[in-house]
């Protein structure tokens, strides 16, 4: 069982949008965007809206977390995968489920009541912090950055301020 060619995993509660569908895809040289999210996997309207953002040359797949865990190792080596999840809990479930995630780009986690803002685009609560700590303990590099040409920040340093 070969490891899938996952170029990058990104946490972005907007999933596929302009930054992801154009800027990041082009920067990475990805030819497949896999959105791992239980709700979106069964929401064709949302899938169609996200597909409209992607260039015609880029494919997208929308899987539940469990299906992603079950099939990611079947990916062809020529599939250059950009894995996108909605939140840090989904990323942790994938990692714990055996998806080979070594590096996560933390892009966008909206502010909500009970969350504290740690950057202009990322807000966290205790549950998020716990999941980030577990990912870090599992050896995952956690890089906060909106766009590829921005200097990244280690999210663990921001959480421990």
- Model confidence over 93-118: pLDDT tens digits? 999 999 999 999 999 999 999 999 99
For residue 22, what pLDDT is reported? 85
Query: Is 39 within the bounds of a domain?
Result: yes
Query: Is 18 within the bounds of a domain?
Result: yes
| Among 17, 73, 103, 110, the one annotated catalytic | 17
Query: Is 1 within the bounds of a domain?
Result: no
Count: domains in the chain: 1
Taking the C-alpha atoms of residue 24 and residue 41, their distance in angstroms, rounded to an integer, is: 22
Query: Is 43 within the bounds of a domain?
Result: yes
Q: What CATH number does the domain containing 102 carry?
A: 3.40.35.10
Query: Is 42 within the bounds of a domain?
Result: yes
Query: Is 155 within the bounds of a domain?
Result: yes
Judge contact between 117 and 69, C-beta under 8 A. no
For residue 1, what pLDDT is reported? 56
**Nearest alpha-carbon partner for 83 in 152, 155, 24:** 24
Q: Catalytic annotation on 103?
A: no
Kindly calculate the radius of gyration of the chain based on its CA atoms and give it in whole angstroms: 15
Instruction: Spell out the residues 6+ positions from residue 39 whose beta carbon is closer than 8 angstroms to its own.
Output: none
Query: Is 102 within the bounds of a domain?
Result: yes
Please give the residue range of the domain that contains residue 128.
6-159
Query: Is 104 within the bounds of a domain?
Result: yes
For residue 18, what pLDDT is reported? 83
Which strand (E) or helix (H) includes residue 131?
Answer: helix 126-137
Structure token digits, residue 101: 């995630």
Judge contact between 95 and 1, C-beta under 8 A. no
* Positions of the chain with pLDDT under 70: 1
CA distances from 34 to 37, 68, 139 (A): 9, 8, 22
**Per-residue pLDDT reduced to its tens digit, 65-81:** 999 999 999 999 999 99
């Amino acid at each position: 069982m070969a490891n899938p060619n996952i170029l990058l995993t990104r946490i972005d509660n907007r999933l596929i949008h302009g930054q992801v569908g154009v800027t990041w895809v082009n920067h990475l040289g990805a030819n497949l965007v896999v959105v791992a999210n239980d709700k979106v996997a069964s929401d064709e309207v949302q899938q169609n809206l996200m597909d409209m953002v992607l260039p015609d040359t880029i494919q997208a797949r929308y899987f539940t977390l469990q299906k992603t865990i079950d099939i990611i190792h079947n990916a062809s080596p020529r599939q250059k995968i950009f894995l996108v999840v909605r939140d840090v809990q989904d990323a942790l479930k994938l990692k714990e489920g055996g998806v080979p995630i070594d590096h996560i780009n933390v892009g966008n986690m909206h502010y909500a009541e009970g969350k504290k803002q740690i950057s202009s685009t990322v807000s966290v609560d205790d549950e998020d912090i716990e999941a980030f700590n577990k990912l870090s303990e599992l050896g995952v590099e956690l890089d906060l950055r909106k766009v590829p040409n921005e200097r990244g920040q280690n999210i663990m340093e921001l959480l421990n301020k």
